[in-house]
Amino acid sequence: MTVSPSKAAAAARERGSEAPADLLPEPMVSEQSSEALRQIAVSAGLAPMGVRPPLGQYLRDLWSRRAFLWELSSSKAYARNRNSYLGQAWSVLTPLLSAAVYIIIFGIVLNTTRGVENAIGFILVGTFMFRFFEHAVSGGGKAIRGNTSLVRAVRFPRAVLPISVVLSELVTLGPALVVMLVVTYLSGLGEFPKFAYVPVSWRWLLLPLAIMLLAFFNVGCAFIMARWVARAPDIQNLIGFVMRFVMYASGVIFSIDHYFKDHPGVGWVLQRQPVAVYLELTRACVLHEPTIPLTWQTWAWGVGWAALFAIGGFLYFWRGEERYGRD
C-alpha cells in the first residue's frame, strides 16, 4: 500500500517525530511579483485599508456615495422620534417649547430683550437657529465614535458621517421653519399689542440662503468635532457646557447691540463671531427690527465664515482619515 506524503507527514507528527524531508510538499511560491499583484488589486478596484487617499480621489469617492449619504441622513431624521406617541411632531414641538420657556422667562418676566420691538420673534428665530447649530456640533462629535462598527467594517469616505449629521438636522429643520414663521407673524397681531408687527416680506425668500450658509458652517464644525472626539472622547462631555457659553455670547435671547452699547469693542467682537452672524442674518430676513438691518456686510461675514469652516474643517478631517476606527 502506498502512503501519500501528506498522510505520512501527519502520521509522523502524531508519533512526535519529524517527517522526512523528502515526504514534505514543496513550498508554494508565487510566480507574480509584489508590483504585479498590486497592479492586479488596483485594476480590480481594491485599495489598502487604513490609508488616506489623495484629496481628489477622496472627493470623487465622497460624491459617488451621495445616494448612501442621503439615505443615511433621511433614515436618521425619521428614526429620531419613531418610538414616541407624537412621532415626528417632536421635531417641531421641542424647539417651540424651548423658545416658549425663554420667551416667558427672559422676554416677559425679566424683560431682557430690551432694544428689540418683537421679543417673541427675536427669541423664536434665535432659538430655532441655535438649536440647528448645537445639534450639528454635538452630533458631529458622535459621528465617528458612535459608528465605530460601521467604520471598521466597511470602507467608505468617513466624511459621509459628519455630513449626514448636518443633513439630518436640516431635514428636521424644514417643518420647524414653517412653524417658526407662522408663530413669528402671529406674535405681531392684535393679540400681543406689546410686540411689533412682523410683516410678510420679500426678505423671507432669502431665509433659505441664510440657512444654507449656516449649514455649511455647521458641516465644518461637525468635521472638526468628529476628529477631536475620535482622538479624545472626553471632549464629548464638554460640548454641552461650551454650547451654553456660546448661546449667551451669541445673543440668542437678548440683543448684543443693546447690552454692550457702552462697550462697543466687546460688542463688535461678539457680533462678528460666526454664530452671532448667522443669528443676525436669519433675523434680518424674518423680522422687521430697525436695529437688525439686512446689509451686504452681514452677508459677507456669513459667506466668509461658511467658506472658512467648511473648507478648513473638511481638510482637517481628511488629514485624519487613516486613524478613524483604529484609535
The DSSP annotation for 238-307 comes to GHHHHHHHHHHHTTSSS-HHHHTTT-HHHHHHHHHSHHHHHHHHHHHHH---TTS---HHHHHHHHHHHH
pTM of the full structure: 0.81
Distances (CA, A) of 88 to 84, 118, 143, 171: 9, 29, 22, 11
Q: What is the pLDDT of residue 300?
A: 96
Contact 123, 113 (CB under 8 A): yes
Cell of 60: 470623487
Chain centroid to Cα 160, Å, comes to 10
Q: What is the pLDDT of residue 159?
A: 93
Q: What is the pLDDT of residue 63?
A: 92
Contact 217, 274 (CB under 8 A): yes
Q: What is the pLDDT of residue 263?
A: 82
Q: What is the pLDDT of residue 120?
A: 84
Q: What is the pLDDT of residue 289?
A: 85
d(CA 304, CA 202): 24
Q: What is the pLDDT of residue 40?
A: 66
Residues of the chain short of pLDDT 70, as ranges, are 1-42, 44-50, 79-88, 107, 110-113, 190-194, 327
d(CA 124, CA 106): 12
